[in-house]
Structure 1
Amino acid sequence: MVLGKCPYCSGNVIAIKTIALGKKVNLYTCENAKKEHDESSQFVFSSDSTCTFRVYSNVFLKWNKRSFSKYEMKKLLEEEQIIVRLHGRRGTGEYFKYVITDKEYGVSILWDEEVSKKEEEEFLISS
Structure 2
Amino acid sequence: MILGKCPYCDDGEIEVRDKEVRGKKVKLYACSNAMWKTEDGEMFELTQESTCDFKIWQNTLSRYGKWLSYKEVRELLCEESLEIELLSKKYEKKVYYKKFITLNQEYGVSVIWD
TM-score tier, shorter chain, comes to 0.7 to 0.9
Rate the CA distance shift 1:60–1:91 in 2: closer, same or farther, 3 A: farther
CA distance in 2, matches of 1:33, 1:25: 17
User: 1:103-114, aligned counterparts within 5 Å?
Assistant: 103-112=105-114
Q: Percent identity?
A: 38
For structure 2, the residue ranges without an aligned partner over 5 or more in a row are: none
TM-score (norm. length: structure 1): 0.79
CA distance in 2, matches of 1:59, 1:77: 16
CA distance in 1, matches of 2:93, 2:105: 29
Q: Larger % of strand: which?
A: 2
Question: Contact (CA 8 Å) 1:100, 1:108: kept in 2 or not?
Answer: yes
CA distance in 1, matches of 2:86, 2:95: 9
CA distance in 2, matches of 1:101, 1:91: 30
CA drift of 1:55 comes to 1.0
Find the structure with the greater CA-based Rg: 1
Superposed CA RMSD in Å reads: 1.8
Secondary structure, aligned partner of 2:76? helix
User: 1:110-121, aligned counterparts within 5 Å?
Assistant: 110-112=112-114
User: 1:1-127, aligned counterparts within 5 Å?
Assistant: 1-10=1-10, 11-37=12-38, 43-65=44-66, 67-89=67-89, 90=92, 92-112=94-114
For structure 1, the residue ranges without an aligned partner over 5 or more in a row are: 113-127
Task: Name the count of aligned residue pairs.
Answer: 109
Q: Larger % of helix: which?
A: 1
